[in-house]
Amino acid sequence: MAPDAPKWVPLTCHGHSRPVTHIHFSSIVDDDAYYLVSACKDNNPMLRNGVNGDWIGTFLGHKGAVWQARLSSDATLAATGSADFSAHVWDTFTGEALHTLPHAHIVRAVAFPNQPRPQILATGGMEKKLRIFDLSQSSGATSSPGLSPTNSTEAAKPTPPSFEIGPGVHEGTIKSIVWATDLNILITAADDKKVRWWDLRTRSPIGEYVVEGTVGTCELNLDLPALSSGAATLDNGDLQNGTTPHNTSIGTPGVGTLSVAAGKSVYFFDGASPATLLKQVKTPYEIASVAVHSGQRRFVTGGAGDTYMRVWDYDTEQELEMGKGHHGPIWSVAFSPDGKLYATGSEDGTIKLWNNAGGSYGLWKDR
């Protein structure tokens, strides 16, 4: 049986007044800092210090539920997709809306390429259209990279030009978009129960996989290091028996692992090879969200039909821990870029940070 709770009490981040629909970490920036952005049905995406969850600012301007929010790798930009038929691009230093991108229906997914202060953005949603916006073609305010609690509601700049990828291919709402480490490749997950890989050079699909159930999350979890304390890559049996330890990378090193939650299963795909399934893990639970730590060879799931966070062993597929504390389904889960914590966003309007370092880290101190 899995234990009732992890060893460390999670940190709870309050501030939202309705369900949290998505959370996303930046990469590590200066002095081991990183940031967390959250989307919520209260219309107000929030920016936080990723290490301790402290509130930094709220982006004001959406007039409908925000379904997804993402940070650029350097945390200088944020993108949000909303039920108000728009996506916004924000300057995280000033809180200003640099771009307002109108759509004909609800925007469920946004994605930046993995590069500093990116100049393109992908969007998708209930239009069933995958769009690419060229942000460089519209004048916008600039500022020094950084983060500030100051936010504003200044008018957005003229709409940047866009083009559609694969017209008519998606047969359901686009729930998630992921930019691969190869910037020519985009990945989409839609309500037609298909995960698709796209080549931007030809604007056509280069891979497809049908999942068993409604898609929850679809995220590219970049390679995370094995931690020096806590759950190590080697287990005692490996050391004592002299056997070869697991490779710390689950897929192709350096390109990450794509993790998809759908129905009662989680799927892991090689980030370097379109539609290459590494493993499907079937569970007894309805899974809403999943994230994987390749260094520890563990993954974390959030429940759609219950309120629990669960930690699993990637190789044995056994449940290792069950975390309680949320009071609603967990719609999003993500590992921090250093792998020392993971965050969960719930229907109950809160975000929780869970210690994954196995010892002191951030606000968690050894007793």
- Tell me the pLDDT tens digit for each residue of 347-358: 999 999 999 998
For the domain made up of 22-210, give the CATH fold: Methylamine Dehydrogenase; Chain H (2.130.10)
**What are the distances in angstroms from CA 349 to CA 10, 289, 295, 332?**
15, 16, 30, 12
Question: What span, in angstroms and rounded, lies between the C-alpha atoms of 128 and 181?
Answer: 24
Query: What pLDDT is attached to residue 5?
Result: 46
Are 268 and 276 in contact by the 8 Å Cβ rule? The answer is: no
- Tell me the pLDDT tens digit for each residue of 322-346: 999 999 999 999 999 999 999 999 9
- Tell me the pLDDT tens digit for each residue of 251-306: 777 789 999 999 999 999 999 899 999 999 999 999 999 999 989 999 999 999 99
Query: What pLDDT is attached to residue 345?
Result: 98
- Tell me the pLDDT tens digit for each residue of 292-319: 998 999 999 999 999 999 999 999 999 9
Exposed, middle or buried by CB within 10 Å (0-12, 13-18, 19+), for 313? Answer: middle
- Sign (positive or negative) of CA dihedral 243, 244, 249, 251: negative
**Phi and psi at residue 323, to the nearest 5°:** -105, 130
Query: What pLDDT is attached to residue 6?
Result: 53
DSSP per-residue codes, 94-133: T--EEEEEE-SS-EEEEE--SSSS-SEEEEEETT--EEEE
The owner of tokens 């200044």 is 154
Convert 298-313 into a string of H (helix), E (strand) and C (coil).
EEEEEECCCCCEEEEE
Instruction: Name the CATH architecture for the domain at 1-16+230-367.
Output: 7 Propeller (2.130)
Q: E strand or H helix at 240, and its extent?
A: helix 236-241
User: What pTM does this model have?
Assistant: 0.88
pLDDT band (50, 70, 90) for residue 138: low
For the chain, what is the mean pLDDT? Answer: 88
Question: What span, in angstroms and rounded, lies between the C-alpha atoms of 194 and 173?
Answer: 11
Percentage helix, strand, coil for the chain under 3-state DSSP, each rounded to 5? 5, 45, 55
Question: What span, in angstroms and rounded, lies between the C-alpha atoms of 78 and 72?
Answer: 6
Q: Which has the higher per-residue pLDDT, 115 or 86?
A: 86
Beta bridge partners of 178: 187
Q: Where in the chain is the domain with CATH 2.130.10.10?
A: 1-16+230-367, 22-210
